Structure 1
Amino acid sequence: MFLEKTKFDIICLTEHWLNDHQIMSINYENYCVVSYFSRKCMIHGGSLILIKNSVKSKERKDIIRLSVEHSIELSCVELDKHVVVCVYRPPGYQNLSVFDSVMEDVLKKLSTSSKSIIISGDFNINLLETNSNSIRLISLFKSFNLSNVFMEPTRVTASSATCIDNIFCNCDYLHKEIVNKLPSDHSGQTITFCAYIPVQKIQIRYRPITCKNLEKLNNTLTSKLCVQNFNNIWDPNEFYAEFFTLLKSQFNDINPQKTKSIYTKFLFSDWATPGIRKSRDKLFELYGLRQHVKNTNFHQHVAKYSKTFKSVCKIAKALYISNKIKSADDKIKTTWQIINNETGRKKQRNTLI
């Protein structure tokens, strides 16, 4: 059996043709069915997602409940940094308006999260043809910043070659491939993506400038300039070069370089609200103007705005962490994970899925 030989971590299947009882009896070594949709009134169709036992995931029942039998049949799982949806849209354009409406609702729900979205499945719309249906499908996903990964035939018969199966995503992937020679009249599609954002140690070099060091620099330059002979230099460029060399050497001696390690923590996109994003853009704009505006009141306004922004960010991040702990099954474990992550002690694997 293909599933017993595969090394894939997540497998999305459409048209499994199984009922609830048959799905519950599926037993593949190291795999389990995390999410599925099976038909109640008609036969065939359906979608399901199998995941290796080593991959942490949970079912998104709120997405599955949006399914409409024989129009759009959904299964959905949520990972650490991604949401994976498996879609089956039966052939025939009579149900395209229903598909569009439900798919838009799905994308609206998923887009409120900071997690990346990966949608795979059999859409039964040929993207190799430029017509109203293919344009409609691509435009729907692009309106939520999702792009199709494949533009190659995924179903080849004696009389046709169509691209009706695809993967749409709004994240970077490391590898993609069309899988042929399957026990099906459709080809498979695979992508490889990074399941975690690893905690990285970044070292920066800086010079700590203090009032004491500035005073020392002022005194040193005063004494040096008194004894320095600039009287014989008539060329302005040469004069500037000599003066700047003196200034730079004294500045570097009095303010020696230091190295500091910075660890990646919660991403800004994890906890930032739309209002905070707008405030950040405005703050960057004010920082840019501050360099050119020599007005004390304006500088005080920028400083006050910056202080308020930092305060709001602290509150938003604290609320995000609080909600994360409250919604966790194991609150103590989640608390320590957050502490280790924020202090740079947690080193996540750069796992590929």
Structure 2
Amino acid sequence: MGSSKFLISVVYKPPSASWEEFERGFDQLARAVSRTGLDFICMGDFNFDLLTLNGANFYFFNLMVSHDFFPIVNIPTRVTSHSATLIDNIYLDRSYADVVLYPCSDHFPVVGAVPRGRIKRNKIKKVMTRSLKRVNLQRFGEELSTIGFSEIMDMKDNASGAFDRMMGVVQPINDKTFPVKFLKPRKCEPRKTWITIEILKVSDLRNQAYVEYLNSECAMKLEEFKIIRNKVNSMRRNAKKEYFANQFSLNKDNTKRIWKVINDLLGKKKEAPPNSLLIQGELVNDEISITTKFAEFFSSVGQNVQAQGLVNFNNDLMKDEFVDDRGIGNEIEFQHCTGDETLKVVKTIKSNSAGTDGINLKTFKSVMCYLMPCLVHIINLSLQTGIFPDALKRAKVIPLHKGGSKL
């Protein structure tokens, strides 16, 4: 709503609550709000019928007007077979409102719009993706098949440089074959997976029957609506139950997929990582600073633990507890790996996530026949020289909010 600040209140008065109790409580609320100087929007189920201004209903209306709160809905919001009442409303100084005739409950949804100038909309972040179609994977392999890696194979003392040289060849071809595309997020939530076309058709019949009942106020039309409504509810319950039972059965051996199904069942959505962190009283906003703070935290865990006296890394008794003398020498010998061993390890990796270089593991697996000699050479060179490639020491860390304040 632009730069304006609003205070929004949702009020519910039980039918059994007395007028005196409501008047006393709401009057205190209204006076407290007036001291803030903020625009106030009050909405809810008040259980005072403004279509019948007598008794407590009249006193309620006068109370709201005395605090400059004006109702913006003037048609019934709750309709039954024997009554039509206006007990749900939105109160403010000026606006536009309407009632949606939708049978979500025995109360109609009430919608209000407040004119406050131009609305500042948050920028929608576009999602980056790469198309991993079969034709692109085939083209990727054809491009690599024409590349010679003899220069890398001749490197005998620098595993990090050899890996960088290999990625310097592979990454441009990857970017050319699988260009980054930006996808616009959906403007609306897609329907639930278990909602079938048949359920949607019956839901339309339910809505149509409800409108016909409202127009005719016929008891027979009401019974027809209730029959269709109950059928829709039954179809939704059964479809949802069957869908999730099948999902649990299909993914019983995949823990990651099982947790995704559980989160879908519970309605949990994946939240975007926070764009700011409160670290030791300092608010950190930019990505570089956040990354640096994370690196400082994890690199100092051992020192902090030792400083607190929880662990003494220099204690010989501790070394004896975890390292016993079973005739193990001071040297460890590694055997050179083979192509078959490397291929076996790569195939066991289930994740296809891309690293900091943007290369998806699925694309890497598809061209292993061309990169295998070069990769085996780099692995053996790393074992021989004791040098691990610097590029593989980088990690993409995404902070996940678990609870409490997001700062």
In the superposition, the TM-score normalised over structure 1's length comes to 0.32
Q: Which has the higher contact order (CA 8 A, sep 6+)?
A: 2
| Structure with more of its chain in helix, by fraction | 2
| Structure with more of its chain in strand, by fraction | 1
